[in-house]
Amino acid sequence: MIIKPHTEKIVIFIGAAISTFLFFVTLSYEIEKEKSTFLSEANSAFNKVEAVFESLKRINTEFASRFYLVDELSKDEFTFFAKSRIDQNNFIEEIVFAEKVALKNKLLYELSIRNEGYAGFKVKPFSEPVLISSLSPDILFPVKFIEPFNVKNSRWFGRDILTYSDVKNALELTKYYSNALAYAPISDDHNKVYAVRALYGGHSDRSNNKKLRDVFGVILYKINFDHLIPMDKNDYISIVINENIVWQEGAVVFTGLFENTYTLVLNLGLLGHVASVKFERTKGFLSSSIIYPMFAFCLGLLLTGAVWFIIRSHVKINILLFQQNKIIENEVRDKTSKLNTKAEELTAAYHRQLMLTGELESFCHSVSHDLRAPLRSINGFSQILNEDYGEKLDEEATTCLTRICAAAEKMGSIIDDLLNLSRIARTKFTTQYINLSEIVDKSLLTLRGYDSARKVSVTIQKDMFCHGDAKFLQIGIDNLMSNAWKYSSTTPKPEIEFGVEQQEGENVFFIRDNGAGFDMRYKNKLFVAFQRLHKTSEFEGVGVGLATVQRIIHKHNGKIWANSTVGEGSVFYFTLGDVAESLNR
């Protein structure tokens, strides 16, 4: 077939236009993708910053409460609490406490500190450039405790913080916001912030009309945000409080001709402060953003050439395609025939499995009936012997009869447990949205009914919802609660807790007790039927309960595991996965 020259030109023009269109569409997509990545990373970093302030707020509340609970906090108590919080929170570098001293009592205060072993101690103002006039000429606030106390910060010991300029403005703000922290950047220490808490005596801490003379102490937290926020080399991040940049990392962004800048400002909810976190990222168009658009453009040109080539040789290609289609049709026909045969075989196997399952269930019922009949006879005749000839039998014979009856009853329980265990895998589940807390409450009510004399402290988290079969979950929870109830029976103050927590984005339910516990070396036997980790003389049972629980959890496409320490108790964890998926298996 002859291709006219103008047809070739049209094909080339259309191909170039499409390639250019693909270039700009792909470029726009890459820019939006980078923007989405930036927003996601910025929000993640903001959440970390916000978590720091929330943690600091909690620590401040706990720490301040210790000063209100005692007349005077000792150095050891201060060091213990402060050191533990610094170890747990790497953003806190130092914690300082300064207590109020009247100017007229300055000499007595200095003498008392010297008597504690600090020879030469004197209350002094801060030196330049941080020195300012005190907010109150008749009141001093010398630093009493510092953690960690080392050579670097020992110069603070005995210094009057009212003469420290970085603390002054923050301390002024505490008069207007009850129990709140005030924040101020540190002028002589880059990228670090002071969080200031004034401790007001009496009822003044709850009022909005506070005065400096009501303060009996000041707590300072030195905060360092370095290494807290992951940085991209093209990022600039800053934390601004009351129009002051208290922390920043990265170079200030200047957008060039072939650069794109993304900016996000998020506000922090700090009482009494206007606070925000600013994120900026600069990306050049000639960086990674251009790779895929250029690839799309080149691909478009290649496709244009391919289309041009196809137009010139379409006759030969059509013949080849026709022949290939014939080959494919034959192969598909053969494959389809084989698949149909395989499907028929699988259907037949499925029906055979259904028949075997029915036969197995009939066998279980038959075995149950055949075993129960002699057990009832053993139990019945033993009771008749005991009732009719009990007075004629000696003590040893009576004991033997009692043991025979108990063994028959235990054998009956074992048969019931085995049947229940075998039915779980065959029974169809009915899934629904249920309140697991209510199921746990029912289980606890049953346990207290059986053993009302025991005093057990039980904590059940409210409104734990999940999808599952309520009937079988009740059986599983009954076994777990019964386990915790039984194995905590030897504990002086038994405690049981049932709740849920997040682990890697998944709801993980747990039941915790402070009972006997078990050796983790034998954890592989924990969910095996008739395997027990304690002697029957210590705790009753046949070892089927946890195997039943495991089958129920697996039926819900979940997992179950345990952690324990001998003598300290156990924790059983389980998840309820994709129930719909497991029910269709």
- For the stretch 421-440, pLDDT in tens is 666 666 677 889 999 999 99
pLDDT tens for each residue of 523-581: 887 887 766 665 655 556 566 778 888 888 988 899 999 998 888 899 999 999 764 34
> Whose CA is closest to 189, among 121, 266, 246, 104?
246
User: What per-residue string of b and e applies to 218-254 under the rule 16 or more CB within 10 Å gives b?
Assistant: bbbbbbbbeebbeeeebbbbbbbbbeeebbbbbeeee
Cβ neighbours for 221, distance < 8 A, ≥ 6 positions apart = 56, 59, 60, 92, 94, 95, 181, 194, 195, 196, 197
Whether residues 471 and 522 fall in one domain: yes
DSSP state of 100: -
| C-alpha distance from residue 216 to each of 166, 222, 271, 273, 428 (Å) | 20, 20, 22, 24, 69
Identity of the residue numbered 67? F
Which residue range is the domain that position 505 belongs to?
428-583
Q: Judge contact between 277 and 268, C-beta under 8 A.
A: yes
432 shares its domain with 449: yes
Domain at 387, CATH number: 1.10.287
CATH number at residue 138: 3.30.450.350
DSSP secondary-structure letter at 432?
A: E
pLDDT, mean of residues 34-39: 78
Compute the distance between CA of residue 77 and CA of residue 62 in angstroms, rounded to an integer: 13
Averaged pLDDT for residues 63-73: 83
Assigned domain for 289 exists:
no
Between the CA of residue 317 and those of 320, 325, 328, 377, what are the distances in Å? 5, 12, 16, 87
Helix or strand holding residue 65 (H, E): helix 5-69
Alpha helices in 390-493 (DSSP H): 395-426, 436-450, 470-487
- The DSSP string of 327-341 is HHHHHHHHHHHHHHH
Task: Tell me: do 135 and 175 sit in the same domain.
Answer: yes
Q: Is 549 domain-assigned?
A: yes
Last residue in a domain, options 188, 205, 224:
224
At residue 215, the pLDDT reads 84
Distance in angstroms (rounded) separating the CA atoms of residues 122 and 560: 63
Contact 525, 585 (CB under 8 A): no
State the CATH number of the domain containing residue 486: 3.30.565.10
Listed residue (50, 81, 94, 266) closest to 196, CA to CA: 94
pLDDT for 50 beyond 70: yes
Residue range 142-199, pLDDT digits in tens: 988 898 888 887 788 888 888 887 777 777 777 776 677 888 777 776 678 888 888 8
Summarize pLDDT for 281-294 with one digit per residue, the tens.
Answer: 777 655 555 666 66
**Could you tell me if 529 and 413 lie in one domain?**
no
Asked, for residue 445, whether it belongs to a domain, the answer is yes
Q: What is the pLDDT of residue 315?
A: 52
Query: In the beta sheet, which residues pair with residue 277?
Result: 239, 266
The per-residue pLDDT for 212 is 73
Residue 147 shares a structural domain with residue 118: yes
Q: Is the pLDDT of residue 129 over 60?
A: no
Residue 517 CA to its chain's centroid (Å)? 25
Q: Parallel, antiparallel, or unpaired for β 92-99 and 215-224?
A: antiparallel
Check residue 585 and give its pLDDT.
40
pLDDT at 270: 73
Report yes or no on 296 lying in a domain.
Answer: no
Is 110 in the same domain as 161?
Answer: yes
Residue 98 has pLDDT above 80, yes or no: yes
Query: 222, 198, 170, 206: which is closest to 98 by C-alpha?
Result: 198
Name residues whose C-beta falls within 8 Å of residue 60's C-beta, 6 or more positions apart in sequence.
Answer: 181, 195, 197, 219, 221
Return phi, psi of residue 47, to 5°: -60, -35
Q: H/E element holding 296?
A: helix 291-312
What average pLDDT does range 86-105 have in this prediction? 88
pLDDT tens-digit readout, 496-514: 999 999 988 899 999 999 9
Q: Report whether 262 contacts 35 (CB < 8 A).
A: yes
Judge whether 286 lies within some domain.
no
**How many whole angstroms separate alpha carbon 470 and alpha carbon 38?**
44
pLDDT of residue 580: 37
Strands, E, within 128-210: which ranges?
Answer: 139-140, 143-147, 159-160, 182-185, 192-200
Per-residue burial over 139-151, b if 16 or more Cβ lie within 10 Å, else e, is bbbbbbbbbebee
Does one domain contain both 437 and 387? no
Q: What pLDDT was estimated at residue 583? A: 39
- The number of folded domains in the chain is 3
Question: Rounded CA gap, 100 and 327, in Å?
Answer: 96
Same domain as 384, residue 474? no
Among residues 362, 393, 426, the one where a domain terminates is 426
In a domain, 481, yes or no: yes
Task: Report the percentage of the chain scoring pLDDT > 70.
Answer: 74
Token code pair at residue 192:
């670090």
Residue finishing a domain among 209, 224, 239: 224
Q: Please check the confidence at residue 2 and state whether its pLDDT lies above 60.
A: no
Residue 462: its pLDDT value, please?
A: 94
Instruction: Indicate whether 132 and 214 sit together in one domain.
Output: yes
How many CB atoms are located within 10 Å of the residue 117 CB?
A: 7
Does residue 341 sit in the same domain as residue 357?
yes
Helix-helix angle 395-426:314-389, to 10 degrees: 160
Report d(CA 563, CA 520) in Å as an integer.
7
pLDDT per residue as tens digits for the range 281-331:
777 655 555 666 666 667 777 777 776 667 666 656 766 777 888 899 888
- At 26 the pLDDT is 75
In this structure, the answer to whether residues 483 and 577 fall within a common structural domain is: yes
Q: What is the pLDDT of residue 311?
A: 65
Does 516 or 417 have the greater pLDDT score?
Answer: 516
3-state secondary structure at position 536: coil
Q: Answer yes or no: are the C-beta atoms of 125 and 160 closer than 8 Å.
A: yes
In whole angstroms, what is the distance from residue 548 CA to residue 532 CA? 14
Pick the closest to residue 488 from 571, 559, 544 (CA basis): 571
- What order of strands is seen across the sheet that includes strand 92-99? 143-147, 92-99, 215-224, 192-200, 182-185
Rounded distance between C-alpha atoms, residue 156 and residue 36, angstroms:
47
In tens, the pLDDT along 460-504 reads 999 999 999 998 899 899 989 988 988 888 888 999 999 999 988
**Residue 299 φ then ψ, to 5°:** -65, -40
441 pLDDT exceeds 90? Answer: yes
Q: Is the peptide bond before 129 cis (omega within 30 degrees of 0)?
A: yes
Q: Is residue 49 part of a domain?
A: no
What is the pLDDT of the chain when averaged over all its residues?
78
Percentage of the chain lying above the pLDDT 90 cut: 11
pLDDT tens across 210-261, in order? 677 788 888 989 888 776 665 566 677 878 877 777 777 776 555 555 567 7
pTM: 0.45
- The answer to whether residue 302 sits within a structural domain is no
Q: Does the pLDDT of residue 74 top 60, yes or no?
A: yes
Residues 402 and 477 in one domain: no
**Coil/strand/helix, residue 558:** coil
